[in-house]
Structures are given as structure tokens and as C-alpha cells.
Structure 1
């Protein structure tokens, strides 16, 4: 909690007194929050309610972003804060909402709110409870607190005085999450005292969509790089402890229980480190997939790769081989020779291009990629739509409206690569690539330099080569999120003495960027030499004009 010197402490402490008098309905003895809640959440209550200017009614803190691991009573404490806000409110018929990702979470939030009211004789008289609507009404002002599920229909037209969004990382997986959050924020504009509180754990998958955007903004405000009216309360380990060491037999820094207390604000109440140690050993015994999921939920460790038990072995080494800031321009400048791999099929696929260079000094392989997709895929694959939009914002993916533009843009990129004088070969799946071959030929890339790369079990050699190059540190990549996503989507299937990675095995998940890399690796494994050209000699400084 940062220092907030301009708080209205009279109002802040009044809110804390109300909060402290509420009882937890689902704990033996129904203890008062003055005893059961940690000081960390009382600080949040103070900050939110003490930040409102009594004259202008505008809040200095309009949004709160609270990132806290599971089992720290966030749903219970969030419900108590919203009930406190209803009691502090003086706007007639003010509307307060708790928005939950599922019916089960919504029911839990409602049970906590109604239970707190039922346990206080004074509150029972002053509130009207409507269980069938999951709604409570404060008779004195007509203000309501209602629990709703997350959907565009429910959020359209709301003008909340206060709203709590629970588990935003789950909501972000919905295709319309950005639009719904936009409706929520838009509905607050007309009320100067309105606030939005987001309380969530870390995602079980790499952060995406609106959750990723809000988390990034909260971190930037916390770190002082930007300013805003959001109060970030982020319980996450320091960056050096979050490093995902997933090498066989090697524990990650975050696996040390001595550091877990840093992210458990409610320790000693709803959760203990000792209990987490037991759960940790169970998760670790279940495999790396369950362990990474457990760490994301109980320690707020951000997952870079979704590592399943049937994952591709190269995924274990992918993160450590990232070279941040590696661009195509730098790759071309450092490489003595380059090859390109292309993958992509129908309108439902990503058309992916990988450029793989061999460093002229170290002989390391350097990788960069770009992908294209038609906007119709966002409708066809709604569960991945927000992820694809994120990649487009980052520049690794281009979302197109017209068929054919993807091939034109891909061919233009390879034309630039060819101008560097390093391009030896372009490899692609032999099936259905006529348009790509024609576009390359128009740009002077044709003949023996454009080759088909057999797929299926014949790619086994490229798969194993890529694994080894990642493991021994001789393959570096540009740290592009879309590649991490594709790598984590890859599933391996044994076929006799070979292994295969196929789109069928990946199911609805996309692996096209990875397949383009494997096609490029198949070519680079042939030890190609760049065709000597005038531009190539000039690039290396061997010829002057």
C-alpha cells in the first residue's frame, strides 16, 4: 500500500468501523471482521472510502486492482467491502454490483453478503433481501447490491455507484470480455463517486485480453512509470524469484516456502504456509502441469508457458533461450545465411513465417517470426480471440479483412530478406501452396530455393534438432509471445521410433508459428550457403561502391 496522505481520515475510519462489525457467515463462531480480517484489507477499505472528496464527491481512487492468491478470503472480504460501500453511500437508489465469472462464484458472493446481513439484528431490519434475484436493498437510501454473472446483456445500461469484478483472469477468456469491461467503465462516467474494484488471482494460462491489459497498467502505476487513478495492490514475488526454472531435477526459486509469506496477506487466518507446503508436494507429485497451475493460483506466479504432461520437450527450454529485442533487421545483420519456413493452410489457420539465421560469428541459430490471420477467425475461435488480439497489438500477428493480403505481405517480407543477400532457401508444406510459390516467384524467389518440407513423421529430425539446439543454448529466439503460445500448445505423439507434432493433436489450439520454425530448422540442418550476390557482398563490407 503506497502512502496516501490526502485521505479523508474521518470518512475512512467510519468505513473501517462498519467493515469491522460485519461477521463471516461460513466460519465456525461467525467471527467479526475486526478479529478475522487482516490489516491489509482494512487499508484497502480506508483508501477507497477516504479518497472521496466530500465537496465534489469525486474519488481520487476510481479503480482498484488487487492481485492476491487463492485462499486469502478475497471473495468474502470483497463482499464485505461492497456491503460497507452500500452503507456509506448517500446517493438515492445507488446501484452496487458484484460481477462473478460463474454462477457458483456468484452464489458464494451472494451467500456471504446475505449471511452478513442476517447475522446482524440492525442490518436485518434495514435491508430487504431478495434471494431469487441475488439482491439486497438498503431501505434508508434505496441503494441496492446485486450479484450478477458476467455477460454483455447483463452489463448493458448499468450506471453503478460501485462495482466489484471477481476473478478477472477467468473473465478475460471470454471473447466479449473487453466489450463488457468497456460497458462497465462507461457506465461509471456519470457518477463522480463511482468506483471499480477488480480482485483476482493470477491466470492459470499466460495472461491475456483485458486481464493482461489491466495487470500491465497496474504494474506500470505501481512501478511509477505512468500515473493514473488506479490503486494497484499486487501480491506477487519479486521478478528474480518468479523465474520459471523448469529444467528436470531443478527447483524454481519460487518453490522455496521461505518466500511464500510475501504473497499471503491473510496468512494465519484463512491460509497458512504449512498448509500450502502440503498442497505443494501433492501438486509436484502430479507433474509439471499441475505444479505450474498450483503456483499460479497459490503464489501468483505468472505462467509463461502452459506445460502439460504431453508437452513438446523443447518447451522446457524455450523461455531461457529468449533474446529480448531481437528484430528481423538485427537477425539479418548478424547472419551469414538465412532460411525461411512457412506454415498455414485454410482460412481458419494462421499463415506463419519463420526466418532462421546462422550467426556469422558464433554460428548460433537466430529465430524471428510473423503471422497473419483473417478477422473471421476471431468469431470462429472465440475462446482464443482475445489472445490473438493481444498478439496483433504486439506486432507479431496481422489481422486482415481480405483473403490474399496475407500471402502478399508474407512475400514482401521475404523479398526484404532476399535483398540482404543471405536467403538460401524457403521451405513450406507441399500441400496447397501454389499461391505462395507464385507470389515468391514474382519477387525473384523461385526454382531450387523454394522447396517442399515433408510433414508428419518425417519432421521428427527437425523436432529433435530444435529440442537439442534449445537445450544446449545454440538456438536463440526473439521472445515473441505468439511463439511461446504456439510452443505451449504443441502436443507430442510417438510414431514408432519417431515423434510427431500435428495440428490434429493440438486440437483447437494453434501451432502454426511453431510448425513454420520446424520447417525452417529442416532447411538449416542441411547446412545451406547463401547465394553470393552483389547486395550480400556489400552488406558484409567486402565490396565498396
Structure 2
């Protein structure tokens, strides 16, 4: 992409705070840009009282997006310089209406005979919203009604002259494979993260545009109701890199999200910041509604606040922005230290213990090593997980996340049934060979269903009182409270992996009597096994263990007289 067409917007924070559009200055083709904007402005919003024109309904933030997409089209060589638009904006900012209007503009301005324009969404209901808006827009204009032929039962609109059509397509690879689309609208990308084959769908979407230099794709979405995963996480990260100038692609990224320093610690609740991320405030976004929604959410509790923050203020959900979260989650990110590796624990610690937790074939096997630094006495933790391939079939809703963790290197998808046991035992043996594994109670296990693991540990010499059965449920109360205190006071550190951030974010707390419980049942389908493994290790480290005593002859040999 030519540097003159760079879509980087490094001053996006200043633009947001000043209420200026987030589209940078671009060398647009003026005729194309102005024609597109004229068409867009005359279209009417079908579901608003009085059916105002887009010129009346849309705030000043949206027309620059229209101009950028259509004004990047070089009519001489039939090539579009900006192939993709990624728009992140909170609910009620008119995104579905405006995106549908863009597709109508594309149908009108299109020069390709029999061009195919698609509406793709993770569910039929979401796709229907955009289609209903597009057809509603056309019906409000007598001239356009004559120009287009509807087939509502097929969810398809066809241009009578060019043969170009706009229709809904199912969000799966089979229906998109082989398509040669000219324009594609992807609605609510964040919901795609729940689909196991979402990444493949996006590959097919982009492949469909490969033979269309005049083609484009628009993604329009709010933030996720959960921490971003899978394809949404990847698309969002790419969009941020483009916006910040770290990556140059022929894509325009427009993200209405508060800078982190303004969003954290409940900063998004400040009313003077609402208009920053809600560009249609005072138009389709009602200030009184937001006030009432915040009041209601604060009464209803953390879950309602989390939902409000993510959907109406584009606050990205992290480990602590959720209801019934573990108290330690609030301090988890501040305790990250990427210098912590297994090698670092061996080099820096005088003693180490290992916690292990795992379930059946559709579960994860989690391992956490906790070492005690010989100079600071701080606890350093390092965690890994393994999954049998059964998990990919039985827990399809978390497959995108598991694949993210596999790429990170913190999760292994086993190629053999015993791979997890063998690798766990190898890590334990390494610590023991290094002389830092505790002499007693070195490895802590959930006592249920660990026969194969006990046998494997015995093969590397971990037997007898070097194994400890760590009680679960309310018996982990001390470890839960102890870990959260050490996270807060800065004496428990971890390597900052996505694996553990995910598990900590999944953890749910239950209060039973005077005990705090963290159970797999409470977490539901989300996984917390590596976190439970960490708590098992914390339980052992709380006993102030000592390393295994070694005979001096192991290092200096035997003198013969």
C-alpha cells in the first residue's frame, strides 16, 4: 500500500477527546467521494419517527467513513485503495442503519455487472437486522423502489439494470467457499468468537474478495461481553495496530474506545466521557437512558455493570471487570513479570513446589510451579496446560480460545493419550534434578482421579510424602485468600500468560458460611484448571518447604584410600 494511503491515525486520542472524526487525511478521489456522500445523505432511516435522512440522523463522525471507503476507488483502473473498514462503536449509535445504508450506496455506485454483495453475521437474526434496514431504506425512496427488485423470502435485493444483488449468507465456510463477492458486510464480529471455525470463515471471506480489486469488506461491531477471544481478538488487535501505525494494510480502523487510562477504575462511569465513545449521543443515543442504565446497573451489581460497560461504552472486559470475580483478579495484571520462565525459577529460587489439577478427557490438565526467590523470598509462578483432542469436539465454544493459547505456547494439544502425563512428569523431574524441588510435599494433587499421574510421578522418583493430596472445595479457602493477599502486596508474581489471565477471568467465587469457594462447577464450561493447580501449589508453599537434602557425594564424588 502506498504511504500516501496510510490509514494510521496516531493522534486518535486527541481526536476522540476533541470530538473530531477518527478518519485520517487521505488523497481521496473527490468525484467518487462526493457522489457517495450525496447518495448516502439522501437515504432515509426507516425505523426512526419521521424517517429523517442520513444527513439529518448521522453525526459528523460517520460521513468521513463513507467518503474514505468510496473515495478510495480509482475509477480509471477499477481498484479500491481501502479494501476493508473495521468499525468498533457502542450499541445504539446507528451502526446497523449506517452500515445498511453503505451497502445500498455500494449497490447504486457499483460498476461491475452481476456483482454480489453479502450480509454475513454469526446468527440469522443479526443478519436479518441489516437486511431489514437496507430494504426499509429502499422502500422510502420511490426512485430506488423502481430500480431494485426485492425477494424478501430469499432475503435478496437485485438491481434491475446491472443485476447486482445484496443478500444474506450463512456464516459458514461451505456457503462462502467459491464466492467472488464485490462487497461484504460482517455484522457483530465479536459474536463470531463463539464459532469454532470463525477463523476459517474470515479466510474464505477475504479469499472471496481476492479476485475483486474493486471489492471491500466492512466489519461493524461492539465490544465483546467477555474478554476478546479467537477471531475477534485477532481482528481487534490488527485494527489497533493499523490505527496506531504499527501495521500498514489497505484497511481503515475506526475504534470508538476510551484510552485505557480513562476507562480503568470505573472511569468510564463519568458522564463527561460518554460522548467520547458514543459519537451519536444526542441523536440515536439518549443521555437520559444512559443515566438510568448506570443507576440500574449499580443497583443490580457487577454483572450488570460489566454488561453496560462493554456494550454501551466499549470497555474491554478484563480479569476483574465481571461479577462474582475472584478478589485476586483485580491485582493479577499488576503482578505480571515476563522474565519469569521455568529456567528463571531454577536459577533464582531456593525451593519449588508443583500444583497439578485436571479432569477427564474433555478437560484441561493444569500445572503450576511456584518457586521461592532466594533473595527476596517472593513467590514466582509459572503455569502450563494440556488438552486431549477430545476437548476440541466436546467444548467447541472455547476452541477459538484454546487455539490462541496453543499459539502462545502455554497450552499443548496432545497428539498421544499419555503426552500430558509424560511432559508433566518431565517438568517435575527437571526441578528435582536441579535440586530445588521440596523435600516433603513437593507435588500437590487433587486426590480424585490421579492414578495415571501418580504412576508417572513414581517413575521419576516422586513417591511417599513427596506427594500431597490437596483438599478441594472449602479446603482451598486458605490458598484462595492467601494468593489474593500476596498478589495485592506484591509478593506473588507470574509470567503474564494469556492462559492464566483467561483462567483468572473465568474464576467465580461462592461464599458458603465463612469459606470462599472457587469450583469448576461455578465456572461452568470455562476452564480454571491451571488456576486450581496454582492454588494447590500455593497451599504447599504456605507450609514453608525446604529443598531435598542431598548427599555431598552426589556432587564431589567418593575418595578411595
**Within 5 Å, which residues of 2 pair with 1:253-268?**
253-268=267-282
**Match among 63, 73, 83 for residue 42 of structure 1:** 63
Q: Distance in 2 between matches of 1:435 and 1:44?
A: 59
**Within 5 Å, which residues of 2 pair with 1:427-446?**
427-446=444-463
* Aligned-pair Cα RMSD in Å: 2.2
Q: Are 2:514 and 1:503 equivalent residues in the alignment?
A: no
**Match among 481, 484, 501 for residue 467 of structure 1:** 484
Kindly indicate whether the alpha-carbon contact (under 8 Å) linking 1:338 and 1:530 is maintained by their aligned counterparts in 2: yes
Q: Are 2:85 and 1:64 equivalent residues in the alignment?
A: yes
**Match among 498, 506, 514 for residue 481 of structure 1:** 498
Q: Distance in 2 between matches of 1:534 and 1:143?
A: 83
Stretch moving more, 266-275 or 31-40: 266-275
Summarize the Cα distance change of 1:447–1:279 in structure 2 as closer, same or farther, 3 Å threshold: same
Cα displacement (A) at 1:324: 4.2
Cα displacement (A) at 1:373: 0.5
Cα displacement (A) at 1:357: 1.6
Q: Distance in 1 between matches of 2:309 and 2:321?
A: 12
Report Cα offsets for 1:183-210 as digits up to 9, x if no partner. Answer: 1111111111111111101101000110
Q: Are 2:372 and 1:355 equivalent residues in the alignment?
A: no
Name 2:115's counterpart in structure 1: 94
Q: Secondary structure at the match of 1:427?
A: strand
Summarize the Cα distance change of 1:49–1:129 in structure 2 as closer, same or farther, 3 Å threshold: same
Kindly indicate whether the alpha-carbon contact (under 8 Å) linking 1:296 and 1:302 is maintained by their aligned counterparts in 2: yes
Kindly indicate whether the alpha-carbon contact (under 8 Å) linking 1:59 and 1:192 is maintained by their aligned counterparts in 2: yes
**Within 5 Å, which residues of 2 pair with 1:322-337?**
322-337=336-351
Report Cα offsets for 1:92-129 as digits up to 9, x if no partner. Answer: 11000111233332222122111111111110110101
Cα displacement (A) at 1:494: 4.2
Q: Distance in 1 between matches of 2:235 and 2:80?
A: 19
Summarize the Cα distance change of 1:508–1:3 in structure 2 as closer, same or farther, 3 Å threshold: closer
Name 1:177's counterpart in structure 2: 198
Q: Distance in 2 between matches of 1:172 and 1:534?
A: 55
Q: Secondary structure at the match of 1:329?
A: helix
**Within 5 Å, which residues of 2 pair with 1:248-397?**
252-305=266-319, 308-397=322-411
Q: Secondary structure at the match of 2:127?
A: helix
Name 2:558's counterpart in structure 1: none
Report Cα offsets for 1:196-255 as digits up to 9, x if no partner. Answer: 111101101000110111111111111111221221111111122233x3xxxxxx2222
Kindly indicate whether the alpha-carbon contact (under 8 Å) linking 1:322 and 1:476 is maintained by their aligned counterparts in 2: yes
**Within 5 Å, which residues of 2 pair with 1:19-38?**
19-38=40-59
Kindly indicate whether the alpha-carbon contact (under 8 Å) linking 1:163 and 1:197 is maintained by their aligned counterparts in 2: yes
Q: Secondary structure at the match of 1:39?
A: coil
Cα displacement (A) at 1:321: 2.8
Name 1:527's counterpart in structure 2: 544
Q: Distance in 2 between matches of 1:220 and 1:134?
A: 36
Give ranges in structure 1 of 5+ residues lacking alignment: 246-251, 539-545
Cα displacement (A) at 1:498: 3.1
Q: Distance in 1 between matches of 2:170 and 2:285?
A: 27
Q: Secondary structure at the match of 2:111?
A: coil
Cα displacement (A) at 1:340: 0.8
Q: Secondary structure at the match of 2:80?
A: coil
Report Cα offsets for 1:321-363 as digits up to 9, x if no partner. Answer: 3334433333333323211101113211111110112222332
Q: Distance in 2 between matches of 1:265 and 1:495?
A: 45
Q: Distance in 2 between matches of 1:523 and 1:484?
A: 22
Name 1:249's counterpart in structure 2: none
**TM-score under structure 1 length normalisation:** 0.92
Q: What count of residue pairs does the alignment treat as equivalent?
A: 530
Summarize the Cα distance change of 1:359–1:258 in structure 2 as closer, same or farther, 3 Å threshold: farther
Name 1:406's counterpart in structure 2: 420
Kindly indicate whether the alpha-carbon contact (under 8 Å) linking 2:26 and 2:68 is maintained by their aligned counterparts in 1: no
Name 1:190's counterpart in structure 2: 211
Kindly indicate whether the alpha-carbon contact (under 8 Å) linking 2:225 and 2:310 is maintained by their aligned counterparts in 1: yes
Cα displacement (A) at 1:406: 1.1
Q: Distance in 2 between matches of 1:38 and 1:330?
A: 54
Kindly indicate whether the alpha-carbon contact (under 8 Å) linking 1:135 and 1:144 is maintained by their aligned counterparts in 2: yes
Stretch moving more, 317-326 or 50-59: 317-326
Summarize the Cα distance change of 1:75–1:528 in structure 2 as closer, same or farther, 3 Å threshold: same
**TM-score under structure 2 length normalisation:** 0.89
Q: Secondary structure at the match of 1:40?
A: coil
Give ranges in structure 2 of 5+ residues lacking alignment: 1-21, 556-561
Cα displacement (A) at 1:61: 1.0
Report Cα offsets for 1:513-545 as digits up to 9, x if no partner. Answer: 11101110110110111225599x99xxxxxxx
Q: Distance in 2 between matches of 1:399 and 1:312?
A: 28
Stretch moving more, 102-111 or 333-342: 102-111
Q: Distance in 1 between matches of 2:514 and 2:269?
A: 36
